[in-house]
Amino acid sequence: MTQIWKQPLNLAPFAPVIDQTIVGHMGIEFTEFGPDFICAAMPVDHRTIQPMGILHGGASVVLAETLGSVASYLALDSDHYSVGLQITANHLKQVRKGKVIGTVRPVHLGRTTHVWDIIIENEAGEPVCVSRLTMAVMPVVQPE
């Protein structure tokens, strides 16, 4: 598979910022980078469950959008940035404990849009949520 990343696969400079955002609050951790994919894990605990004790669908969407946003950032050169345009999610299976692992892969890497598929699985490797994220690609405007 061809390497799609245009930025270094190093999130260490973002660690202080990540810790102070929803990503840190929900315990999301990036676990693996490949030539065309990124994986991240999220605990199923008091931060991510709904009142019935199962993984909150919104938490799955946060994991999906986090993965897609980071992937889009890493797939762009420094003259561009991206912002979320649309996200959809289908919740397939309940999770009550442990963690879930999301994997993002590109569907389309265009000049003005990126489209990403995110599959979130339980620890047994069973899909619990499938999501699609569309990102709008924007040029960085330099101040005059």
- Unique residue bearing structure tokens 């489209």: 115
pLDDT at 10 over 90: no
Q: Which of 100, 107, 42, 21 is nearest to 68 (CA)?
A: 107
- Rounded to a whole number, what is the distance in angstroms from the first to the last CA of the chain? 41
Tokens of 52: 């019935």
pLDDT for the residue numbered 12: 73
Spatial CB neighbours of 88, under 8 Å, sequence gap ≥ 6:
131, 132
- The string of DSSP letters for 76-113 reads S-TTEEEEEEEEEEEE-S---SSEEEEEEEEEEE-SSE
Distances (CA, A) of 117 to 38, 56, 78: 11, 19, 23
CATH superfamily of 21-139: Hotdog Thioesterase (3.10.129.10)
Task: Summarize the confidence of residues 42-67 as an average pLDDT.
Answer: 97
pLDDT tens, residue by residue, 58-87:
999 999 999 999 999 999 999 999 999 999
pLDDT of amino acid 80:
96
Over residues 31-41, the mean pLDDT reads 95
Would you name the residues annotated as active-site residues? 65
The pTM of this model reads 0.94
Looking at residue 126, what is its pLDDT?
A: 98
**What pLDDT, on the 0 to 100 scale, is given for residue 5?**
95
**Residue-level pLDDT at 1:** 66
Q: Name the phi and psi angles at 43, rounded to 5.
A: -70, 150
| Residue pair 130/61 in contact by the 8 Å Cβ criterion | no
Which tokens is 75 given? 């797939």
Q: Over range 104-127, report the average pLDDT.
A: 98
Average pLDDT over residues 81-104: 97
